[in-house]
Structure 1
Amino acid sequence: MTDREKVGGGGGERWQAAMGNLTEMGANLDSLQKFLSKKAVFVDEETFSRASLASEQARSIKTLEQRVETLERELDAAIAAAARARNEKRQAEAAQKAAELRTQEITKELENTSKVFKLHMEELRAKQEEISKKNSEIKVLEAIIQTLSRKDSGGTGA
């Protein structure tokens, strides 16, 4: 089943039958017109009117057939454009989903980096506290050493 038949539902078969009828009528009228032009005879007014009407109908049918063909081409183009649009929409949705996933990954990486940074900062603070404590202990020991060395030099020199 073609896209045109899907769009038209069950009307596709009727449409084709109508087109066949129009084509056959056009061919019959063309035949009649050729026949009349080759066998030019004088006819009465009624026969001439019918022949003129048949000729006019043949021209109308040909015009309608051309219009139908144009409409069919436009319909095919519209169906193709709709298919392209659906495809582009699917691609855009896939790209958006990929971008969202990448955003989530990057956000997770940033959160993890932030956690690691906080841990490092806590470790650095602990080390600095330890260094400050050791520095204080060293200063106390230096003070003790100075005090002891003054006592030793004052006690031995007296």
Structure 2
Amino acid sequence: MEEREDEKGKGSERWRAATGNLSEMAANLDSLQKLLVKKAVYIDQETFAKASLSSEQARTIKALEQRVDTLEREVDSAILAAAHARSEKRHAEAAQKAAELHTQEVTKELENTTKVFELHMEELHAKQEEISKRDNEIKLLEAIIQTLGGKE
């Protein structure tokens, strides 16, 4: 992160220096233009060509400065978008972990409920067996009573 800021700082320094140079060239061109307007009645072909070239360069420089500003804004926007995307990713990962933990808790609760259900089923079977045994004993005792009652 610091490296990116250092690179951005160095890049900004270079752009400031370039902008300063461009501003100085623009001032020189303005001075030359004023000099030509005030004092020159006639200039030779070479001087005119140099002045035209300087003027064209100044226009190009101005257009490039505007393009640099636009690109800097686009880079800043891209950096913000990337930071936002990283933040959203972290939130999504946290939500996924929370969902996984919830799933584990629900699964564990279901397993515990199943174990309890199995224990209750075993207990129910045991009670049914006990009832069946007692029912058989009652039937046997009734048969004995009927047999004994029939002899009297």
Could you give the per-residue CA deviations for residues 61-80 of structure 1, whole angstroms, max 9, x where no partner exists?
Answer: 00100110111011011001
Partner Cα separation in structure 1 for residue 59 and residue 43 of structure 2: 22
Q: 1:49 Cα shift? A: 0.7
TM-score if structure 2 supplies the norm length? 0.87
Q: 1:31 Cα shift? A: 4.6
Where in structure 2 are there 5+ consecutive unaligned residues? none
Q: 1:17 Cα shift? A: 2.4
Aligned to 1:42, the other structure's residue is in SS state coil
What does residue 141 of structure 1 align with?
Answer: 141
Counterpart of 1:136, as a letter, is N
Partner Cα separation in structure 2 for residue 65 and residue 96 of structure 1: 46
Partner Cα separation in structure 2 for residue 57 and residue 22 of structure 1: 9
TM-score if structure 1 supplies the norm length? 0.84
Q: Is the 8 A contact 2:26 2:58 kept in 1?
A: yes
Partner Cα separation in structure 2 for residue 145 and residue 37 of structure 1: 144
Larger Rg: 1
What does residue 156 of structure 1 align with?
Answer: none
Tell me the matched-pair count: 152
What does residue 52 of structure 2 align with?
Answer: 52
* C-alpha RMSD of matched pairs (Å): 2.4
Change in CA separation of 1:30 and 1:146 when aligned onto 2, cut-off 3 Å:
farther
What does residue 61 of structure 1 align with?
Answer: 61
Partner Cα separation in structure 1 for residue 93 and residue 35 of structure 2: 63
Aligned to 2:41, the other structure's residue is in SS state coil
Partner Cα separation in structure 2 for residue 9 and residue 51 of structure 1: 35
Change in CA separation of 1:129 and 1:81 when aligned onto 2, cut-off 3 Å:
same
Residue 109 of structure 1 pairs with residue 135 of structure 2: no
